[in-house]
Amino acid sequence: MSDLSDPRPEDEPALDWRDGGVPVSTRFNDPYFSLVGGLAETRHVFLDGNDLPARLVPGFHLAELGFGTGLNALALAQVAQVPIRMTSFEAYPMSTAQLAQAHAAFPELADLAFQLRKEWGRTQFQVGQVSLTLVLGDVRQKLPQWAGMADAWFLDGFSPAKNPQMWHPDLMAAVGRHTAVGGSFATYTAAGHVRRALSEAGFDVFRRPGFGRKRHMSVGRLRG
Ligand SMILES: C[S@@+](CC[C@H](N)C(=O)[O-])C[C@H]1O[C@@H](n2cnc3c(N)ncnc32)[C@H](O)[C@@H]1O
């Protein structure tokens, strides 16, 4: 797929909707975000975990594994006061209707979510101060070919047990190679094999209190 035209119905990711508004992937049997507060989880894990928005300067480059509903991108756009870039990798893009159903749970993001859905069909567009690029396809092929360098990463595949390809040591090594000096990552998981892979990829890895029922999460900075 070179551009993100709305997927045909048979190509949409199959979803169940839990607790009213949380999409759950049928393929991976896992929710796209926390069942106990998606936006609060994003702020705790991905924004605070990367010391954002404090580190944002014009041209700052955020990268993400797993665009999903775009919730992380919208939460970032909500706090970005300067022009920044974000590149997100996604193999199974949702349809506009699926996005709209997911976004309905976050009324405070409604204006930004509307901007995102209006542009859905392009792979490069603007949401607030965020210049967003979507890289479509399996990240295991796409990330090694990527020419960019990220200042911070949102590592947001489905859980390592259900989506192991998003946490494979080779992929974590590619994340490390595509991280700028002083760059960081944050992720909701504290799985030992993921933490080891990120350490081998060149990061100093730290455990932090997790969100909701998760006791721990992980953050890291690329070693100098
Ligand atoms: C937990 S969800 C991401 C949630 C998202 N960050 C949000 O804000 O809604 C994980 C995402 O990873 C994507 N994914 C799973 N395996 C992938 C792969 N091999 N390559 C690229 N994307 C993949 C899924 O389609 C899903 O959208």
CB of 32 closer than 6 angstroms to any ligand 1 atom: yes
H-type helices in 93-207, by residue range?
Answer: 96-103, 110-119, 139-145, 169-177, 192-200
CB of 60 closer than 6 angstroms to any ligand 1 atom: no
For residue 2, pLDDT beyond 60: no
Q: What is the mean pLDDT of residues 140-146?
A: 97
Residue 90 CA to ligand 1 center (angstroms) comes to 6
**Domains in the chain and their CATH numbers?**
36-222 (3.40.50.150)
For residue 175, pLDDT beyond 70: yes
pTM of the model: 0.96
Residue identified by tokens 């069942």 is 35
Per DSSP, the three-state class of 70 is coil
For residue 36, pLDDT beyond 90: no
CA dihedral 16, 17, 22, 23 (to 10 degrees): 30
184-219 pLDDT tens trace: 999 999 999 999 999 999 999 999 999 988 899 999
Q: Whose CA is nearest to atom 24 of ligand 1?
A: 66
70-109 pLDDT tens trace: 999 999 999 999 999 999 999 999 999 999 999 999 999 9
Q: What is the pLDDT of residue 1?
A: 40
